[in-house]
Chains A and B, each alone.
Chain A
Amino acid sequence: MNIRIIPLALSVAALAVAFPAGADPEHRAKALEIIQRDFQTRGQAGLDRLTEDGVQAICNRTGNQPPAYIAAQMNTDQMATVKFPADGVLMGNWKEGEKIAQSGRGFTWTDKPGLPVGGNCYNCHQISPKEMAFGTVGPSLYQFGKLRGNTPEMQRYVFGRIFNAKAFNLCSEMPRFGYIGALNEQQIKDLVALLLDPESPVNK
């Protein structure tokens, strides 16, 4: 895990201003106490994972509905974490992207520590029409590029959204794959291609 200092500092200030009390502060405090006490490290899953970062803290305290002025500021902070490729190329190989989208491995205490890990994409999204075993936690991405085109702006949007979904929707259910270092630049490029390349089965 990396850079989480900026959003955390902001969120602490924001919390003091915006949320003097949660919906159920007493039980929330009890829950936090129990969470800190009743877990144990196993495999790669250490107790550091229980500590909220700024985004998690805000989302946890607002039922995932932060006030607009806080969300806007924190979206900007999250956007600043997105590292766009220095070479300016945003689309990789959709065939590699499909493999990354298929894999849901990584970060559990039974997974081998380290990279690479899967993109978990099909766990939550419909993507290629060839894969029928897809989840429905996120929206369908079928024909994503066909409907939206693959302009440089669209490529940048998709790259950014995969790198850090919280830069667009602060309390999105989607993990911040680039920000947490789960997916590297090339892997994200390959996923951009899966969604936007006209040759990808997604857009056929």
Chain B
Amino acid sequence: MRFIIALGIALALGVPSGLTFAQARPAAIKKTAAQTPPAAPAAEEADEATREFDKFRAEMEDSNPAELFEMKGEELWKEKRGPKKISLAESCDLGQGVGVVKGAYAATPRWFADAGAVMDLERRVVWCMVEKQGFSFADIAKQPFANENFTPDITSLVTYVAANSKDMKFAVPLDEPHVRDAYETGKEITMYRAGPYDFSCNTCHGADGRRIRMQTLPNISTGKGALKGVQGWPGYRMTGGVMLTLQWRMNDCFRQQRFPEPKYASELVTDLLTYMTGNANGQLYKGPGIKR
């Protein structure tokens, strides 16, 4: 297929080598410092790798491997499945009416009265699979994220639904009291420092212009930063060649924070996503993307 060839080429060109870093060396370092240590280069200035990847990502937009998972997800959405032999298309309400996928991703997390909970999109689809189709939550939660040999159905389903919010604005209903509660709780969770390294979400994502090594870290408390946090998810990740969702992104953040693992599709993750997506409100979602 065309995109696989494109991918191969892209991988070969790939993420810039150390040579590029050397070329990006700021002039400040070459000078002899007088009294103050030389300032580290601004994130934007030095982040050659990110710029090149963004360029490549733009070129790949027309042949994004995520499309494969969208197609698979559409089949899964419409197929009668599970012990109850019913399709999600005829049973699952993502907040826009039963079976309606248009705009659902950009308008979640939201309050679902039938479940008595605020849910992000992935959590809601899992809820439908369990409550409407009769799947076991434990089975879904056993391996909820893709690896090189396996992509869970839930990942394809979320990718399909997300694709149906492409070019729509994020519109998490923050005026709804339950959603507002989840937002405020999520905000508190981002401030919680613990673990061996005393890290919170905000250690990396609470201020502008921060980098870990060459990786820029969005400040999720701002509109611009929060958008960077949610844009491109679900995303096809070049590293490993796997399709991953925001639930996975939150999971891997906690791993790097040296925390224990967040339970899959839990209120904890929904609250964080309510905070982050809510902060991105009013800005355009570009649909499933490509990640490094």
Task: Kindly state whether residue B83 has any CB partner on chain A within 8 Å.
Answer: no
A121 to chain B, nearest CB (A): 11
Chain B residue with minimal CB distance to A59?
B193
Residues of B within 8 A of A141 (CB): 37
Q: Given known contacts A27-B184, A134-B40, A136-B40, is B189 in contact with A34 (CB within 8 Å)? A: yes
Chain B residue with minimal CB distance to A27?
B184
Query: In terms of DSSP, what is the predominant structure of the interface of chain B?
Result: mixed
Task: Kindly state whether residue A60 has any CB partner on chain B within 8 Å.
Answer: yes
Q: Given known contacts A137-B210, A137-B211, A175-B196, is B262 in contact with A39 (CB within 8 Å)? A: yes
B255 near A108 with CB under 8 A, answer yes
Residues 33-76 of chain A: 1 if any B CB is under 8 Å from the residue's CB, otherwise 0? 01101111110011101111001100110010000000000000
B259 near A30 with CB under 8 A, answer no
A41 to chain B, nearest CB (A): 6
Residues of A within 8 A of B196 (CB): 1, 49, 107, 175, 180, 182
A50 near B213 with CB under 8 A, answer no
In the bound complex, how far is the Cα of B271 from the Cα of A144, in angstroms?
Answer: 42
Interfacial residues of chain A within 126-164, with CB under 8 A of chain B in the complex = 126, 129, 132-137, 139-144, 146-147
A31 near B185 with CB under 8 A, answer yes
In the bound complex, how far is the Cα of B183 from the Cα of A195, in angstroms?
Answer: 43
Interfacial residues of chain B within 213-240, with CB under 8 A of chain A in the complex = 213-214, 217
Task: Kindly state whether residue A28 has any CB partner on chain B within 8 Å.
Answer: yes
Q: Given known contacts A34-B189, A35-B268, is B38 in contact with A133 (CB within 8 Å)? A: no
Query: In terms of DSSP, what is the predominant structure of the interface of chain A?
Result: loop
Q: Indicate which residue in B181, B189, B193, B258 contacts A108 across the interface (CB closer than 8 Å).
A: B258
B213 near A147 with CB under 8 A, answer no
A147 near B37 with CB under 8 A, answer yes
Q: Given known contacts A137-B211, A137-B212, A143-B38, is B194 in contact with A51 (CB within 8 Å)? A: yes
Q: Indicate which residue in A27, A135, A166, A180 contacts B185 across the interface (CB closer than 8 Å).
A: A27
A39 near B260 with CB under 8 A, answer yes
Which of the segments B21-29, B50-58, B106-114, B126-134 contacts the partner chain? B21-29
Task: Kindly state whether residue A24 has any CB partner on chain B within 8 Å.
Answer: yes
Residues of A within 8 A of B61 (CB): none
Residues of B within 8 A of A41 (CB): 260-261
A42 near B260 with CB under 8 A, answer yes
Residues 95-122 of chain A: 1 if any B CB is under 8 Å from the residue's CB, otherwise 0? 0000000001001111000000000001
Chain B residue with minimal CB distance to A109?
B255
Chain A residue with minimal CB distance to B22?
A132
In the bound complex, how far is the Cα of B18 from the Cα of A107, in angstroms?
Answer: 27
Chain B residue with minimal CB distance to A166?
B198
Interfacial residues of chain B within 240-275, with CB under 8 A of chain A in the complex = 254-256, 258-263, 266-269, 271
Q: List 20 A-B contacts (CB under 8 A).
A: A35-B189, A38-B263, A38-B266, A39-B260, A45-B259, A56-B193, A59-B198, A109-B260, A109-B261, A129-B25, A132-B21, A132-B25, A132-B46, A135-B210, A135-B213, A137-B203, A140-B39, A142-B37, A142-B38, A147-B35
Which B residues lie at the A interface, using CB under 8 A?
18, 21-22, 24-25, 29, 33, 35-40, 43, 46, 181, 184-189, 191-200, 203-204, 209-214, 217, 254-256, 258-263, 266-269, 271
